[in-house]
Chain A
Amino acid sequence: GEDVEQSLFLSVREGDSSVINCTYTDSSSTYLYWYKQEPGAGLQLLTYIFSNMDMKQDQRLTVLLNKKDKHLSLRIADTQTGDSAIYFCAEIKGSARQLTFGSGTQLTVLP
C-alpha cells in the first residue's frame, strides 16, 4: 500500500466535520474507493467515485476527486462516535485491476 498515501491519525470533536485525505499514483484508475474498518472487523466499502467525477455526495459523506493532483478526500459531516474507525483509500491498478490500499487513517471522535 505504500503507493497510496494517507495520514495515520485524525481526531475530531463529535458534531464537527472530518476530512480524510489521500494521494494516489495511477492516473488511469477508473474507480477510487473509501473503505471503513471498525474495531475487530473486516473492511466494508463506504463509498466510491468514478474517475470522470469531481464530487460525489451520499448523505453525510462527500468525496472530492482532484485528478490533476491525484488527490482524493472524504468529508464526514456531523461526525458521530460511531464513525470512529480506520478509513482506507484504495485505487485500482494494473492490468489485473487489483486494489491497492493506503495505510489507513485512524479516526477518533471525541465527546
Chain B
Amino acid sequence: DADVTQTPRNRITKTGKRIMLECSQTKGHDRMYWYRQDPGLGLRLIYYSFDVKDINKGEISDGYSVSRQAQAKFSLSLESAIPNQTALYFCATSDSGQGAPYNEQFFGPGTRLTVL
C-alpha cells in the first residue's frame, strides 16, 4: 500500500465550484505539504503544516485553504475554483525527527484538477 495517498486522482469541475482534495499518510510524519505543478514552473508550495496546530502559507496560497484534521490527514480546498487553478496537485510529507537530517519529502501520486 502507498504511504501517501491522494483522493481523487482526477477531477473535472466548473468555475465557481468548491473542491476539496484529500491527502492521507501512513508514514507517521509530522510535516505535510501541498504543492501545485504547472508545466515549465516546477512545483510551487501552497500551504504547509508542521503539526496539527501549525498551518502556514506557502508561496501561492491565495484562493486556497487547508485543514489538518489529524496528524495523518491534510486536505486542500478551493473555495471557488477558477480556470487558472487547473494544475497537478501534490501532497508531500516529511519527518522532523533526528533520524531525518536531510528533510526528504515523500510525495503522493498527485491529483489532476481541471477547472472549466
* A residues at B contact (CB < 8 Å): 1-2, 4, 8, 31, 33, 40-45, 48, 50, 88, 92, 96-104
Contact = CB atoms under 8 A, between A and B. Distances in A.
Contacts of A50: 102
A31 B41 contact: no
A45 B107 CA distance: 9
A31 B90 contact: no
Contact of B42 (A42, A48, A102): A102
Interface string B89-116: 0101000000000111101111000000
The DSSP consensus for interface residues of chain B is strand
A42 B58 contact: no
Interface stretch (B11-19, B43-51, B62-70): B43-51
B37 to A, nearest CB: 8
Given A8-B40, A42-B108, A103-B40, A97 B4 contact: no
Nearest to A49: B102
B103 A101 contact: no
Contacts of B56: 96
12 contacts: A1-B44, A2-B41, A4-B42, A31-B102, A33-B104, A43-B43, A43-B92, A45-B104, A50-B102, A97-B103, A98-B45, A100-B45
Interface in B26-50: 35, 40-45, 48, 50
Contacts of B4: 42
Contacts of A44: 107
B107 A43 contact: yes
Please provide the 6 A-B residue pairs with the shortest distance between their CB atoms, ordered closest to farther: A42-B107, A1-B42, A103-B42, A101-B42, A101-B43, A43-B107
A98 B50 CA distance: 11
Contacts of B108: 42
